[in-house]
Amino acid sequence: MQASLLNKIIFFAIFLLAFCQSAYSQIDRKQIKMADSLFQANRLLEAEKIYRLNLPNALAESENIKLKLAFISKAKNDWLSELYFLSSIHARQNSLAIAKRLEEIGVKRNLTGYEVTLIDQIEWIYFALFPYVTGILLALGLYGVLILLLKFRRRRRLRKIQIMYLMAYFLLILLFANFPGFLRYGIITSEKAYLREFASAAAPVKQILQKGNRINYWNTKDVWVTCLQDGQIGYIKVNDYSPID
């Protein structure tokens, strides 16, 4: 009796959670649709408020929303916000058009970190060939797994080195699939940021980075973040930049 009642309560709780989540998603879609209508009607400031409000939760449409927010920022002459939204898309899906626009803004504002480099060209090839290369690599890996399974069924001895090679191969595929995630970008948001030799306010200054410059960063400790700028590794304060996600 108690078990039956408990099951009903659990079922009702799951149903209610699913219903609320569905309703919440529908509300989000309605708001985004409203923002799209405002955007098309050139009521950009009203559309911007709704887009910004829904951006953290609208994961499936985040790229489309960021593109529109970048357009609105350009119309407002808010070049820093335009850089941020375009860089956010660029970090996940590098494309020639966005890279060129970022470079154009960088040249106009005399900023560094937006030049089209060899890494950008590698990323263009990576994104263009990603589905095909990943498919081929996975097929080869599964073929290796099948061979080992056949050996196991026939009770043939499996060497540890073979299993280790196969595991290393799948690890390489995982690294390949997450390659863009290793390139973490940030934008300087302070009027001036001091790139120092080590994590201390008393450390010598290597460079003075101006507002809008883009950096590569990879480690944060206390109030300092390790970053790469123009081939130089240094440290800036966490409050001086905004990470691009």
Per-residue pLDDT of 147-187, as tens digits, reads 888 888 888 887 888 888 889 998 988 888 776 666 688 99
Q: Is residue 109 part of a domain?
A: no
Q: In this predicted model, what pLDDT tens digit does every residue of 25-46 receive, in sequence order?
A: 444 788 889 999 999 999 999 9
Pair (8, 73) in one structural domain: yes
Confidence of residue 9 (pLDDT cuts 50, 70, 90): very low
Domain total of the chain: 3
Domain membership of residue 12 as a residue range: 2-77
Per the DSSP assignment, residues forming a β-bridge with 228 are: 216, 233
Distance CA 213, CA 118 (A): 19
What H or E segment, with its residue span, contains residue 195? strand 192-196
Domain CATH number, residue 214: 2.30.30.40
> Looking at the domain assignment, is residue 96 inside a domain?
no
Global pTM? Answer: 0.68
Clarify whether residues 172 and 230 are in a common domain: no
Ramachandran assignment for 204, one of left (phi > 0), alpha (psi -120 to 50 degrees), beta (any other): beta
